[in-house]
Amino acid sequence: MTAAFQNPVGETLTDNAAWATAQPRLSVLIPTFRDDPGALLKALDEPGVHAEIVLLDDGGGDEALARRMASRIERLRLPARLITLSSNEGRAKGRNRLARHARGRHLLFLDSDMLPDPIGFLARWTALAESDDTAVAFGGFTLDQTPRRPEHELHRAMALRSDCTPAPERARAPEKHVFTSNLLVRRDVFETIGFDEGFAGWGWEDVEWAMRVARRHPIAHIDNSATHLGLDTAPALAAKYEQSAANFARVVKSHFEVVSGYPSYRVAKALKPLPLRATWRPMLKSLALAEAVPTPLRAFAMRLYRAALYSDAV
């Protein structure tokens, strides 16, 4: 049976039967907003792993989905807690909140639309945490299990080019290739360096966090990957890039010495002097959204559109 109650800070908490007496070594922290994490929860329920699961419903407002999540929490063999919020507080605040509920020495941040690739995914993370007492490690990001859909081909092409990279390649710029989709962090590191809650909307809060962490701790990159199932349509991807422009400006202001070496900054800097930006920037977006255009050209146009958005901040 589950136990549900509201605590003094306005969260509704639902714990399964295994939660109360558990002493986990690893806390798996999953924020969700109107996404069903059922496939992920099922895949994570590995027997014999000293781990717990903490799931955050970040103000999604879908009562039917909330009931399904509570039911899945109840059925898990691993100790598990569901935190339900009445209003959305965003990516950075939500992850900080999840960490406050965690009891393990290491935290594993996973997005709700991820699905582990290797068998024994959690066991591998637990072994790494215990053997090396790793401060920070990113496990990798693939599209190996992501269904092919025509409306997602642009995002697929862009993710395969920039996000789905093996560990040795990621390690060349360790802070740049950090995503909260599959990220291990030791508790004391996160308690000292949390996510900047000044970030709003989508983008850059995880990379900016890694820039601060890298000044004090090594960031390891390993191949213990998870598939990103939740690819976006081209309009949704463009909207995320538009949201991220303000966050990019925040990163430039705080970490100029790091971000100025990134290709996204250099291209934005090159585009900034060009005249009539208000005319040609929408044209880039239109080209990226045109499904009749070959995907490589659309991806090139979308990358230029993102850089043109970022040019306001450089």
Number of neighbours of residue 68 by Cβ within 10 angstroms: 14
Tokens of 160: 């395969």
What is the mean pLDDT of the segment spanning 129-135?
Answer: 85
Residue 245, pLDDT score: 92
What is the mean pLDDT of the segment spanning 128-135?
Answer: 86
Tokens of 199: 């970030």
Distance CA 153, CA 176 (A): 24
Q: In the sheet that 226-228 helps form, which strands lie side by side, from edge to edge?
A: 114-116, 226-228, 141-142
% of the chain surpassing 90 pLDDT = 72
Residue 78, pLDDT score: 95
- What DSSP line would sit under 179-204, residue for residue? -TTEEEEEHHHHHHS---TT--SSSS
- Where is average pLDDT lowest: 9-13, 15-19, 177-181, 272-276? 9-13
Q: What is the CA radius of gyration of the chain?
A: 20
Residue 205, pLDDT score: 87
Burial of 312 (0-12, 13-18, 19+ CB in 10 A): middle
Checking if the pLDDT of 290 tops 90, the result is yes
Residue 200, pLDDT score: 77
What confidence category does residue 1 fall into, taking pLDDT thresholds of 50, 70 and 90?
A: very low
Average confidence score pLDDT of the chain: 91
Residue 3, pLDDT score: 58
Element (H, E) at 148: none
Residue 2, pLDDT score: 54
Residue 156, pLDDT score: 97
